[in-house]
Amino acid sequence: METKNTIHIPVEGMSCASCAMSIENMLKHIPNIENARVNYANHTATVEYNGDSADLELWRKEISKLGFDLDVDALQKKNP
């Protein structure tokens, strides 16, 4: 049985709730992501994923296709 984990990632570039929905939908289609919620008010993505480690660079790459950025650098500084 795989481990389920949750991570909170800052999101940059959102200007409306529709942006948050687009990011959320994209995240939900990435392999190993069980669920995703994006909060426009605090510019944060909460991602539930399977496995021991999150593929943050893949997530960042996919979200960048929409014109947004998952601030994984800030996340890594916060949780070294």
Q: How many domains does the chain have?
A: 1
pTM, two decimals, is 0.86
According to the model, what pLDDT value does residue 2 have? 65
Q: Report the CATH number that the domain containing residue 32 is assigned in CATH.
A: 3.30.70.100
Residue 4's pLDDT band (boundaries 50, 70, 90)? confident
List the domain range (segments joined by +) for residue 45.
4-78
Give the count of beta carbons closer than 10 Å to the beta carbon of residue 61. 12
Based on the number of CB atoms within 10 Å of its own CB, is 55 exposed (0-12), middle (13-18) or buried (19 or more)? middle
Q: In this predicted model, what pLDDT tens digit does every residue of 30-78 receive, in sequence order?
A: 999 999 999 999 999 999 999 878 899 999 999 999 999 999 887 655 5
